[in-house]
Structure 1
Amino acid sequence: MTFIRAYLRASTDDQDAGRARSDLETFAVDRGLRVAAWYTENESGAKLDRPELFRLIEDASPGDVLLVEQVDRLSRLSTDDWEALKLKLNHKRIRVVALDLPTSWMGAEARHDDATQAMLDAVNRMLLDMLAVVARKDYTDRRRRQAQGIVKAQQAGLYRGRRADTERHAAIAEMLDKGMSWSTICTATGASRSTIKRVVDGRKAAQTSPQF
Structure 2
Amino acid sequence: MFIRAYLRASTDEQNAERAKDTLNRFAAEHNQRIASYYIENVSGAQLERPELQRLLTDTQDNDILLVENIDRLTRLNENDWKSLKQSIEQKGLRIVSLDVPTSWQAIDSARMTNNDPIIKAVLDAINNMLIDLMAAMARKDYITRRDRQAQGIERAKEEGKYRGRQADPERHRKVHYYRHEKGLSLSEVAEATGYSRSQVCRILAKGTETG
TM bin, normalised by shorter chain, reads 0.7 to 0.9
- Structure 2 residue aligned with 1:118: 121
Which stretch of the first structure deviates more once superposed, 55-64 or 76-85? 55-64
Summarize the Cα distance change of 1:70–1:148 in structure 2 as closer, same or farther, 3 Å threshold: same
Q: Is it true that 1:61 corresponds to 2:81 in the alignment?
A: no
State how far apart, in whole Å, the 1-side matches of 2:151 and 2:126 are. 38
- Contact persistence 2:11–2:42 (CA under 8 A): yes
Q: CA deviation at 1:196?
A: 4.3
The CA RMSD measured in Å over matched residues stands at: 2.4
Tell me the TM-score normalized by structure 1: 0.84
Summarize the Cα distance change of 1:36–1:200 in structure 2 as closer, same or farther, 3 Å threshold: closer
State how far apart, in whole Å, the 1-side matches of 2:209 and 2:161 are. 29
Identity over aligned pairs, percent: 47
* Deviations 1:113-154 (CA, angstroms, capped at 9, x unpaired): 543333222211111111101000000000000000011111
Tell me the TM-score normalized by structure 2: 0.84
Q: Which amino acid aligns with 1:30?
A: E
Summarize the Cα distance change of 1:187–1:47 in structure 2 as closer, same or farther, 3 Å threshold: same
State how far apart, in whole Å, the 1-side matches of 2:179 and 2:23 are. 35
Q: Is it true that 1:142 corresponds to 2:145 in the alignment?
A: yes
- Structure 1 residue aligned with 2:32: 33
Q: CA deviation at 1:193?
A: 3.9
2:144 is paired with a residue whose SS is: helix
Q: CA deviation at 1:190?
A: 4.2
1:159 to 159, 162, 165: 162
State how far apart, in whole Å, the 1-side matches of 2:25 and 2:201 are. 33
State how far apart, in whole Å, the 1-side matches of 2:59 and 2:116 are. 22
State how far apart, in whole Å, the 2-side matches of 1:198 and 1:42 are. 14
Which stretch of the first structure deviates more once superposed, 195-204 or 118-127? 195-204
- Contact persistence 2:175–2:200 (CA under 8 A): no
State how far apart, in whole Å, the 1-side matches of 2:190 and 2:28 are. 29
- Structure 1 residue aligned with 2:101: 102
2:12 is paired with a residue whose SS is: coil
1:167 is paired with a residue whose SS is: helix
Q: Which has the larger radius of gyration?
A: 1
State how far apart, in whole Å, the 2-side matches of 1:146 and 1:5 are. 33
- Structure 2 residue aligned with 1:209: none
* Deviations 1:167-207 (CA, angstroms, capped at 9, x unpaired): 122234456765958736445434444554456446679xx
Summarize the Cα distance change of 1:69–1:150 in structure 2 as closer, same or farther, 3 Å threshold: same
Q: Which amino acid aligns with 1:70?
A: N
Q: Which amino acid aligns with 2:31?
A: G
> How many correspondences in the alignment?
204
The list of structure 1 runs, each at least 4 consecutive aligned residues, that deviate by more than 6 angstroms after superposition, is none
Q: CA deviation at 1:161?
A: 0.9
State how far apart, in whole Å, the 2-side matches of 1:161 and 1:148 are. 14
Alignment of 1:60-79 (within 5 A): 60-79=59-78
Summarize the Cα distance change of 1:143–1:32 in structure 2 as closer, same or farther, 3 Å threshold: same
- Structure 1 residue aligned with 2:12: 13
